[in-house]
Structure 1
Amino acid sequence: MRALDELRAALGDEVVRAAADIPERHLRDWVVAAGAGDEPLALALPRTTDEVSRLLACCSRLRVPVVPQGGLTGLSGGATPVRGCVLLSLQRMQGIEETDAQAGTLTVLAGTPLQRVQEAADAAGWLFPLDIGARGSCSIGGNAATNAGGNRVLRYGMMRDLVLGLEAVLPDGSVVSSLNKMQKNNAGFDLKQLFIGSEGALGVITRLVLRLAPRPASQNTALCALADYAAASRLLRLARERLGPALSAFEVMWPEFYELALAHAARQGRGAVPLSPGHGLYLLIESSGFEPDKDADQFTALIEAAVEEGLVEDAALARSLRDTQAFWELRESGSDFLPALGPRVGFDISVPTGQIGDFVQTCRERLRARWPSLRTIAFGHAGDGNVHFIVQVDDRPLPVHEIEETVYGCVQARGGSIAAEHGVGLHKRPFLHYSRSATEIALMRTIKAALDPLGIMNPGKVVAGDGQPHAPASWARRPAPAAPPSMPVARL
C-alpha cells in the first residue's frame, strides 16, 4: 500500500480514496465492466489542474497506471479500470470559466456535463451544436477525448471541429496550456489534435475552449417512409441540393428498429403512430436556418418533390415542437428498449454513405448463412456514414468474437471504420487493424511512446506499444443493467 500512502500524502484523503471506498459506478463504463481481479488501487477526485498534475507526477514516479474517467457513458471500455490503476475522475472539475459572447467561445472545465455547456451557450445567445442522447451525463472532456459525434455532425462536424484550444496534463505531470481562441492559428503544430480522440491514452484534458455557432431561428423536421436505402441515398443528394448547409440531420431506421420504437412509445403512452409499419425504411430529416418562413417553404417543397419523384412513400411533417420531440424520441429510444432484448452484440461503425444499404444487406446475408436464427436491428446517422448495427443469435454462449469478425470484415471490405464515434477502448483494440494499416498503427505507437514512455496512461486501450501493459485478460463485456438513479443513461 506504499503507493496509496504516497498518493494520499501528496493530495490528501479528500482527493484520493482507497479501493474499498470506490462507488460501483466507477468500475465500468456503460457496457464494459472490469473483470475479476482487475480492481483499481484508488479513485482520485481532483478539483484543479494543479491536483491533476501532482497526481500524474506521483503516479509516473511510482509507475502506477492511470485510467481517466468522465461521465462513464462510453460503450467501448475506454474508462474501464485495469488492475492496480488509479481511476482519475474529473467529476469535480465542472464549470463555465468564461463566456465570450462577442467571439462566440466558451472556456470550460473538462468535467462539465454537455447539457450544461449547451445551456451556457444558449444563455449567451449562441448554440453549442454537439448533441448526443447522454447529454445530461456525459462530460465535455470525455466528448473531446472520444471525438464525439452525435446528431448534428452532418452540419457542424465532430467534436474535433468544435474545439479551438485546450489544456492537458501529460503523464509526467507537465501541463500543456494551449487555450487558443482563434480560428486561424498556424504557429506550429496543432497540439490539441493529439488529445482529441486519444481516449486518455496520451494525457488528461482539463480545460477546453469551445467554438460556438449562431443559434438558428427555425427548425423543420419530417419523418418519412421509403422503400429502401437506395431511395434514402437519392433523397440525401436531393436534400443537399435543395437545402445546402441548412440540412442538419438525416437519420435512418430500418423496419425492425422502427417497429420496436413504436412498441416502446405505446408502452410509455406517448401519442399516435406517425407513420404505419410495413415500409422498407424510415427516415428522420431535419433542417435549421435563419429565415423561418422561407426555410419552412423550402423544406416542405423538398418533401413534396421527394414524394413526386417516388423517393418518399409517406411522410409526416412536424407542426409543433411537440411533434419534433416525438419524432426524435422514436429515433433515440433504442437505449431504452434494446437492453430488454437480451444478449446481443452491438456495433458502432461507419462506411461511405452510399454503401450503407449494401453493407447492411451483406452483413445480414453473411451472418444468416452461419446463424439462421439471426435477428438484426439497424439504425444510425446515415448522413455522415455512421450505422449502429445490433445482432442477436440463438447460440449460447453468444459467439461474440465470431460475430464481430464477420461484421468487421464487411466494414474492412468497404474501407470503413470499426469505431465511428464511441472510440476503440478495450473492446475494439483487437480489431483496430481492420480499419488502420500497419504503418498507421506503428505511428500511433510511436506517438504513444513519445508522450507516455512508461505506458501508465490508460494502458491497454486504443493501441499498446512495445513493452507496455496490454488489456487484462479478464475484462468482461456484457449488456448494461437497468439503470439505477445514479447510473448515467448512454444513448446512441
Structure 2
Amino acid sequence: MDKLLNDLVAIVGPEGMLLGNDVSQRSVDWFTGAPCRAKAIVRPRTTEQLSKVMALCYQADQPVVTHGGMTGVVHGGEASPDELVVSLELMNRIEEIDSVGFTIQVQAGVTLQHVQEAAGEIDMQFPLDLGARGSCTIGGNIATNAGGIRVIRYGMMREQVLGLEAVLSDGTVVSSLNKMLKNNAGYDLKQLFIGSEGTLGIVTRAVLRLQPYMPSEQTALVAVPSFDALTRLLGFVSRELANSLSAFEALWNNHYRLMTTESGKHTPLLADDSPFYAIIETLGLDEERDAEDFSLILEKALEAGLITDAVLASSRAQRQVIWAIREDIEVLVKELKPMFSYDVSLPIPHMQAYAEQLEQNLKAQWPQAAKIVVFGHLGDGNLHIMITVRDESPESRRQVEQLVYHPLKAYGGSISAEHGIGLEKRDYLSITRSSEEIALMKRMKTALDPKGLLNPGKVVALD
C-alpha cells in the first residue's frame, strides 16, 4: 500500500493525506466516539483529483470508505486498517447561487448550515434542517437521503436535489448538474446515488432547490392528553394551517421528562405529567397575521380537548429554548449511557401500540435496567427510540435490536426512516425489503462497483 499512498500524495499533495495519529484521533461514530482505524485519509480538493484517486484505487483493488461530516449513527463511516478513507472536507465551496432559478450549486463538503446561511443572504431558504446542521455535509445529506424536522412540508433531501455529480469506483465522473425542475430525458441517474450511502458512487457536487424565505415563524410547545388526541391534533393543524405547517414533532412523556425535570438540563416549560407533547411550527410571510391565526388555532385545539396546555414562543430565543428540548441529543447520550439509538418508521395509527409493546418487552427482559425514550417526526411517521439496558455487550445489543426491528414487519414499517442502513442495520434489511428488492440492490451494486470497493459491506452484503 505504501506505493499507492505515495502515488495518491502526488495527486492531492501532502496536505491532502493524513496518516497515523491524524487518522486515529478522528471519530467514526458520533455516539460512541470510536476512532478511525483506516490506513490513511485522502482529502481531494476537486472532482478531478478524486477521479484520479479512485482510478488508482481501482487499479490496486483498494477499498475506500467515504467520509462527510461524520454525524451518521449506523456505522456507515467505519473503515478497517486495510481500507482508505476519502474525506470530502476540503471540497467545501459554494460555487453558484441563482436567485432567478431558485438554485444553489455546491461541493459535497459544504455544511448544511453554510448552505442555509448562503440562501438567507439572498432572502431565500434551503429548507432541509437537522439538529446536526453545523457539522453534517451536503454530500452526506444526499448519500443518506436525510430527513429532519421539515419533511412534512418540504420533503426529504431527495426532493431538494435537481442535479448532482458523482465519481464511480473506477474514477469515471458522472456529471449531471441539472438546474431544471423538469428534465424527463431518460433515466434520472441522480436517484441512484441519493440514499445509496456511498456504495454506488461518491457524490462530489450538487445543484439544490431553494425556496422563498419565510420571515414569519410561529412555534409552540403543547401538552396532549392521549395518543388519539395527538393524531387528531396533527390532522387538525394540517387542515387549519394549510401550507404554513412546517414541523410537527411528537415527544413521549419519557422523553420530555428526561430532558427537563429528570436531567435538570432544560426548564420544563409545561408540567411533566402529560402523556404526550408536541412542537408545532409554521412558516409564513405576515408575522402579525400569522401570530393571530396560530394563537386562534391553538385556542380551538384547547377547546376541543386536543391539547391541555401550551406555551407560545414570542421571540427567536424562546423558539430556540423550545427546540432545544427536542434537539439536545447530548443529554440523552449522558443520561442513558450506554445508549442504543434507533430510527424507525411505521404507519402513524400503529405508533402507540408499537412503542408500548416495545417498552413492555424491554422491561420483561431487563426489569430493573431497561429505560426507553421515544420522540420523532410524527407528521412523516418517523420515530426516534433511545434505549438503555445498562449493558452494552454485543449480545445485549443484538437482543435489543431484535425487539426493536422484528415487530415492524407486521406493521408494514421500516427499520430506517432517515439514518440509513450502514453496517448496523444491514442484517435486518430483509424485515423491510423483499428478497427480490435486495437481489436488485445487489445487482445495482455489482453493476456500478464491480470490485466492491466503495464502502464495502455497507447496506447490502455481496458475499
Match of 1:389 in 2: 385
Task: Tell me if structure 1 keeps the 8 A contact 2:12–2:43.
Answer: no
Match of 2:291 in 1: 296
Match runs of 1:73-92 below 5 Å: 73-92=71-90
Match of 2:188 in 1: 190
Match of 1:17 in 2: 18
Q: Deviations over 1:191-224 (max 9, x none)?
A: 1111111100011111010100111131111111
Task: Tell me if structure 2 keeps the 8 A contact 1:356–1:382.
Answer: no
Q: Which amino acid aligns with 1:301?
A: L
- SS of residue matched to 1:14: helix
Match of 1:418 in 2: 415
Identity, % of aligned positions:
46
Task: Tell me if structure 2 keeps the 8 A contact 1:11–1:54.
Answer: no
Structure 1, gaps ≥5 residues long: 467-492
Cα 1:32–1:447 change in 2 (3 A) is farther
Structure 2-normalised TM-score? 0.95
Match of 1:365 in 2: 360
Task: Tell me if structure 2 keeps the 8 A contact 1:168–1:205.
Answer: yes
- Tell me by how many angstroms 1:249 deviates: 0.7
Task: Tell me if structure 2 keeps the 8 A contact 1:164–1:179.
Answer: yes
- SS of residue matched to 2:166: strand
Match runs of 1:46-445 below 5 Å: 46-263=44-261, 266-267=264-265, 273-373=268-368, 374-394=370-390, 397=393, 399-445=396-442
Q: Which amino acid aligns with 2:270?
A: L
Q: Deviations over 1:77-114 (max 9, x none)?
A: 11111341110000100111001011111000100111
Aligned counterparts of 2:47 and 2:339: Cα–Cα separation in 1? 40
Aligned counterparts of 1:393 and 1:27: Cα–Cα separation in 2? 24
Q: Which amino acid aligns with 1:222?
A: A
Aligned residues: 460
Q: Deviations over 1:99-132 (max 9, x none)?
A: 1011111000100111110000000110001111
Q: Which amino acid aligns with 2:189?
A: L
Aligned counterparts of 1:412 and 1:445: Cα–Cα separation in 2? 22
Cα 1:412–1:302 change in 2 (3 A) is same
Q: Which amino acid aligns with 2:237?
A: A
Aligned counterparts of 1:463 and 1:201: Cα–Cα separation in 2? 9
Q: Which amino acid aligns with 2:248?
A: F
Structure 1-normalised TM-score? 0.90
- Tell me by how many angstroms 1:9 deviates: 4.1
Task: Tell me if structure 2 keeps the 8 A contact 1:264–1:337.
Answer: no
Q: Which amino acid aligns with 2:115?
A: V
Q: Deviations over 1:273-329 (max 9, x none)?
A: 320111111111111112333322322222111111111111111122222111111
- SS of residue matched to 1:456: coil
- SS of residue matched to 1:377: strand
Task: Tell me if structure 1 keeps the 8 A contact 2:31–2:333.
Answer: no
Match of 2:28 in 1: 28
Cα 1:32–1:55 change in 2 (3 A) is farther
Q: Deviations over 1:217-261 (max 9, x none)?
A: 311111111122221101001111111121111111111211121
> Quick one: higher RCO (CA 8 Å, sep 6+), 1 or 2?
1
Q: Which amino acid aligns with 1:194?
A: L
Q: Which amino acid aligns with 2:331?
A: D
Q: Which amino acid aligns with 1:198?
A: S
- Tell me by how many angstroms 1:25 deviates: 4.5
